[in-house]
């Protein structure tokens, strides 16, 4: 960015304080989200106490730069129709290389700037997509090359949009912002890996892992990946799916170093997983941060934590400690007390065979309903009567499923309460085995004992009492909360609002919801055997982390 512009901007924002200068992105994003209802995600930020200098005054004080070259490069703006009026929107396109375009999105009226966007040419059409805002503009260029005509789309808003190439002062100001956007644009690079071992205190527990480092002199921003509950290796393998391995590779190619570790008692790490509590995992996260901060090619001032499930809660706990990370990303973290979260999770007792039997029973019931409907048609019932009958059967099936879910929830709450209140481990295990055998008569006794044994481990007993709420108010670093709407393990409807409420004092929190994404952050068709992280999740993570790294 032109140094004169930088000095002017710093002079403008200094009254807010340094911490607020570093969070301008979050603050203006929230202005747009709340004021115009345009962003799909929920971003919480604070509004500046003084307005920015008028655009014309700013331009007059800065030497005019050269507008980016290229047939599409330049500043394009126009009115975006919203309920009750319109807002000026601006897209800055730059030629970042041969046959390669990048763009950034601005909403000047709401002081929302530099949202990274991809540019894709499809025949005679252009597609602009900004994953951080979940918005898309599909358009075609006019014959004279001075207008982009198409449709703007995002959750809750689909409208026609026409943008015209800007000229004069607006184009010059846009060119300056574009130069900054180009500097911030993700750069795909190469990286190398190192097999490392760190020590977590107390207890001098050796944790083995892999450090992915971008090639180059650095210093690079860095993050520690923290896994979900259960035995997880450094790649977080689920069948053919390698969640953390994919995430580490993706971020390293974008210039972010990533450390991922085998859990205690897993792979090449020491310690015992069953004896590990959530508090111990916080020590492990802090050990990872300390290790990264001491690496010469990594930047200690840009070192954060990225946690999945319980790992997200561990990251938030670490952020409430005296030496917090620079940033936290919590993917599908819990906002509820541990006992309630575990009670609401799907019952893991059933075997694949049991699940198949339940599915077969449901299909048989529905087949019988269809046969009855056919008999009704043959006996003279009209279409409305048949559809009414089928609707009643659907409602009946849903009601039965709801009753079964409520019964399972009641059973699990009672079982976990027994574990929580019974101090003697052998006694607690015996009671739980009996409860499981009574509810699941066909369950193998050995399986019941194994399952009950898992419920009395130090980790499980600790987690039943774990409440994430008390420490959330102490988290002041930037936080990104990510959650899929199709997560059966950490329900978004109850957990995400609880986290937002607990973090309401933090003005640097960004929230993104991903429709159809599951607990493992795979797309709508994803399952543990589907070996791909949803691209929109990786893109959102990349953009947010790089934005924090630049501030």
Question: Would you tell me how many other CB atoms lie within 10 Å of the CB of residue 239?
Answer: 10
pLDDT score for 48: 38
- Token reading at 405: 């879910």
SS3 4: helix
pLDDT tens-digit profile, the chain (551 residues): 444 433 433 443 343 333 333 333 343 333 333 333 443 333 333 333 344 343 333 333 334 333 333 468 888 989 988 877 888 898 988 875 666 777 888 876 655 667 778 888 888 889 998 876 678 899 999 888 889 999 998 877 889 999 998 875 444 554 554 444 444 444 557 899 999 999 999 889 999 999 999 988 888 999 999 999 999 999 999 888 999 999 999 999 999 999 999 999 999 999 998 889 999 999 999 999 999 999 989 999 999 999 999 999 999 999 999 899 999 999 999 999 999 999 988 776 555 555 566 667 778 888 888 999 889 899 988 989 989 999 998 898 888 888 888 888 899 999 999 999 999 999 999 999 999 999 888 888 898 999 899 899 999 999 999 999 999 999 999 999 999 999 989 999 999 999 999 999 999 999 999 999 999 999 875 455 567 899 899 999 998 998 876 66
Phi/psi at 401 (5° precision): -65, -40
pLDDT score for 480: 96
pLDDT score for 401: 81
pLDDT score for 366: 86
SS3 508: coil
Nearest alpha-carbon partner for 280 in 229, 219, 353: 229
The CA-to-CA distance between both ends of the chain, in Å, stands at 14
pLDDT score for 396: 87
Nearest alpha-carbon partner for 91 in 35, 174, 184: 174
Cα 87–chain centre separation: 28
Length of the chain: 551
- Which uninterrupted H or E stretch holds 152? strand 147-154
Nearest alpha-carbon partner for 259 in 193, 329, 186: 193
Nearest alpha-carbon partner for 41 in 545, 523, 480, 488: 480
Asked if residue 67 lies in contact with residue 172, where contact means CB atoms within 8 angstroms, the answer is yes
pLDDT score for 246: 94
Q: How far apart are alpha carbons 15 and 2 in whole angstroms?
A: 22
Nearest alpha-carbon partner for 235 in 227, 292, 288, 250: 227
- Which uninterrupted H or E stretch holds 544? helix 535-550
Q: How far apart are alpha carbons 256 and 305 in whole angstroms?
A: 12
Q: How far apart are alpha carbons 249 and 377 in whole angstroms?
A: 59
Asked if residue 530 lies in contact with residue 241, where contact means CB atoms within 8 angstroms, the answer is yes
Q: How far apart are alpha carbons 102 and 118 in whole angstroms?
A: 6
Helices (H) and strands (E) in the chain, counts: 17, 19
pLDDT score for 485: 93
For 100, counting Cβ atoms within 10 Å of its Cβ (0-12 exposed, 13-18 middle, 19+ buried), the class is: exposed
3-state secondary structure 312-372: HHHHHHHHCCCCCCCCEEEECCCCCCHHHHHHHCCCCCCCHHHHHHHHHHHHHHHHHHHHH
Angle between helices 352-378 and 383-421 (to 10 degrees): 160
Phi/psi at 49 (5° precision): -85, -15
Domains of the chain: 3-184 (no CATH), 191-335+468-550 (3.40.50.1820), 344-463 (no CATH)
Q: How far apart are alpha carbons 161 and 92 in whole angstroms?
A: 16
CA angle 511, 512, 516 (to 5 degrees): 150
Q: How far apart are alpha carbons 430 and 392 in whole angstroms?
A: 43
């Amino acid at each position: 960015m032109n140094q004169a512009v930088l000095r002017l901007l710093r002079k403008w924002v200094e009254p807010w304080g340094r911490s607020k200068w570093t969070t301008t992105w979050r603050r203006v994003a929230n202005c747009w989200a709340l004021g115009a209802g345009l962003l799909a995600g929920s971003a919480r930020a604070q509004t500046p106490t003084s307005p920015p200098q008028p655009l014309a005054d700013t331009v007059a004080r800065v030497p005019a730069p050269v507008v980016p070259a290229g047939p599409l490069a330049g500043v394009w703006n126009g009115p975006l129709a919203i309920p009750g009026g319109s807002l000026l929107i601006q897209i800055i396109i730059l030629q970042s290389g041969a046959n390669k375009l990048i763009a950034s999105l601005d909403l000047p009226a709401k002081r929302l700037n530099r949202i990274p966007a991809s540019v894709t040419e499809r025949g005679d059409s252009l597609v602009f997509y900004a994953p951080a805002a979940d918005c898309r503009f599909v358009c075609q260029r006019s014959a004279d090359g001075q207008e982009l005509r198409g449709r703007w789309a995002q959750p809750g808003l689909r409208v026609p949009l026409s943008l015209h190439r800007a000229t004069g002062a607006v184009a010059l100001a846009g060119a300056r912002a574009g130069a900054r956007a180009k500097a911030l644009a993700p750069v795909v690079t190469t990286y190398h890996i190192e097999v490392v071992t760190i020590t977590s205190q107390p207890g001098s527990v050796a944790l083995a892992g892999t450090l992915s480092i971008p090639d180059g002199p650095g210093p690079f921003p860095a993050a520690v990946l923290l896994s979900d509950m259960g035995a997880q290796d450094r790649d977080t393998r689920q069948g053919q799916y390698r969640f953390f391995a994919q995430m580490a590779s993706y971020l390293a190619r974008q210039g972010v170093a990533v450390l991922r570790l085998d859990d205690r008692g897993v792979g090449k790490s020491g310690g015992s997983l069953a004896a590990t509590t959530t508090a111990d995992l916080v020590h492990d996260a802090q050990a990872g941060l300390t290790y990264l901060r001491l690496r010469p090619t990594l930047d200690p001032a840009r070192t954060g934590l990225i946690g999945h499930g319980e790992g997200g809660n561990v990251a938030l706990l670490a952020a409430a400690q005296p030496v917090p990370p620079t940033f936290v990303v919590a993917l599908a973290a819990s906002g509820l007390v541990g006992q309630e979260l575990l009670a609401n999770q799907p019952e893991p007792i059933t075997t694949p065979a049991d699940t198949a039997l339940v599915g077969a029973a449901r299909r048989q019931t529905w087949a019988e309903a269809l046969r009855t409907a056919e008999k009704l048609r043959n006996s003279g019932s009209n279409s409305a009567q048949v559809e009414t009958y089928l609707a009643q059967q659907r409602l009946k099936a849903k009601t039965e499923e709801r009753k079964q879910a409520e019964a399972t929830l009641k059973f699990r709450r009672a079982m976990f309460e027994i574990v929580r209140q019974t101090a003697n481990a052998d006694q607690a295990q015996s009671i739980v085995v009996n409860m499981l055998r009574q509810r699941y008569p066909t369950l193998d006794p050995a399986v019941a004992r194994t399952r009950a044994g898992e419920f009395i481990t130090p980790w499980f007993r600790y987690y039943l009492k774990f409440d994430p709420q008390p420490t959330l108010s102490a988290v002041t670093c930037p936080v990104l909360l990510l959650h899929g709407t199709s997560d059966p393990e950490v329900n978004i409807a109850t957990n995400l609002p609880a986290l937002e409420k607990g973090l309401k004092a933090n003005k640097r929190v960004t929230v993104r919801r991903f429709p159809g994404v599951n607990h493992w952050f795979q797309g709508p068709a994803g399952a543990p055997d589907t070996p791909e992280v949803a691209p929109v999740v990786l893109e959102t993570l990349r953009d947010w982390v790089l934005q924090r790294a630049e501030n």
